């Protein structure tokens, strides 16, 4: 069974204080690892997809990295508008090479950035 | 494009009542999904569809039913509402291949009393 565990559950930062969120996973053949941002009362918004160990992707103050067992979302000099819940999800290769796009999500990390 | 739309935004049901959560997308996406999200928990897959007329169960399908008669619409049916079905429900779809990212709707907050 595919599993995703995110840590910490909640993270409070001061504006400008860089940090990292962790996503540990076990999956029967990783097809892709996805990061989403979710604001209160809204649906998740796509950030990144990582496909293989060693891959990195950046978007503004966010950088996602991937190893064979975990992914990190690094937040550099965060601003209050970066406050949100960050979700990690994995897509397995599945039997026959397809999982029909299904994702297994972690429980999320609630990030609060204080001015 | 309106993206993925969901109605209603909020709903309160009594135990034993039935309702249908609507989901529609105008992007001609084949792959569509229904998730539920409980506080402090990640999204759990209820049902999914790979195209019109084709649906399959996800991780937590009990108490729900779906249909996919058109590419655009993917309604989720609750037949006998129970308090355990109190949750926020999200619909999502994928553009292009199944390996692409999912686009999510705004969600429906359902309370069963």
CA distance A30 to chain B (A): 11
Both tokens of residue A17? 């204080």
Q: Are A58 and A72 in contact (CB under 8 A)?
A: no
Nearest one of B53, B55, B52 to B30, comparing CA atoms: B52
Question: What confidence score (pLDDT) does residue B58 get?
Answer: 95
The answer to whether the CB atoms of B31 and A101 lie below 8 A apart is yes
Question: What confidence score (pLDDT) does residue B99 get?
Answer: 79
CA distance B21 to chain A (A): 15
Angstrom distance (rounded) from CA A61 to CA B74: 36
pLDDT in tens, B20-64: 999 999 988 999 999 999 988 889 999 999 999 999 999 999 999
Q: What is the mean pLDDT of chain A?
A: 95
Torsional sign, CA A78, A80, A82, A86: positive
Nearest one of A22, A24, A25, A35 to A1, comparing CA atoms: A25
Question: What confidence score (pLDDT) does residue A14 get?
Answer: 98
Angstrom distance (rounded) from CA B81 to CA B99: 34
CA distances (Å), origin B102, targets A46, A113, B33: 7, 27, 9
The answer to whether the CB atoms of A44 and B33 lie below 8 A apart is no
Question: What confidence score (pLDDT) does residue A58 get?
Answer: 97
pLDDT in tens, A30-77: 999 999 999 999 999 999 999 999 999 999 999 999 999 999 999 999
Q: Are B48 and B89 in contact (CB under 8 A)?
A: no
Question: What confidence score (pLDDT) does residue A73 get?
Answer: 98
- In B49-68, the residues whose Cβ lies within 8 Å of chain A are 50, 56, 58
Angstrom distance (rounded) from CA B76 to CA B7: 11
Question: What confidence score (pLDDT) does residue A1 get?
Answer: 85
Give the mean pLDDT of A89-114: 90
pLDDT in tens, B51-108: 999 999 999 999 999 999 999 999 999 989 999 999 999 999 998 787 788 999 999 9
């Amino acid at each position: 069974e595919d599993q995703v565990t995110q840590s910490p559950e909640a993270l409070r930062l001061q504006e400008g204080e860089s940090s990292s969120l962790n996503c540990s996973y076990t999956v029967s053949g990783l097809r892709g690892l996805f990061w989403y941002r979710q604001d209160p009362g809204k649906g998740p918004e796509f950030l990144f997809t990582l496909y293989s160990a060693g891959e990195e992707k950046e978007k503004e103050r966010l950088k996602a990295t991937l190893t064979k067992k975990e992914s990190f979302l690094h937040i550099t000099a965060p601003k209050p508008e970066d406050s949100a819940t960050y979700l990690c999800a994995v897509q397995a290769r599945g039997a026959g090479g397809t999982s029909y796009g299904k994702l297994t999500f972690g429980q999320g990390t609630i990030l609060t950035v204080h001015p | 494009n309106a993206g993925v739309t969901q109605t209603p935004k909020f709903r309160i049901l009594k135990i034993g009542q039935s309702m249908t959560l609507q989901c529609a997308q105008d992007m001609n996406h084949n792959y569509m999904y229904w998730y539920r999200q409980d506080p402090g928990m990640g999204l759990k897959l209820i049902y999914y569809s790979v195209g019109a007329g084709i649906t399959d169960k996800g991780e937590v399908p009990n108490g729900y039913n779906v249909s996919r008669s058109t590419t655009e619409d993917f309604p989720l049916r609750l037949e006998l509402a129970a308090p355990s079905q109190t949750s926020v429900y999200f619909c999502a779809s994928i553009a292009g291949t199944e390996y692409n990212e999912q686009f999510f709707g705004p969600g429906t907050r359902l309370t069963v009393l």
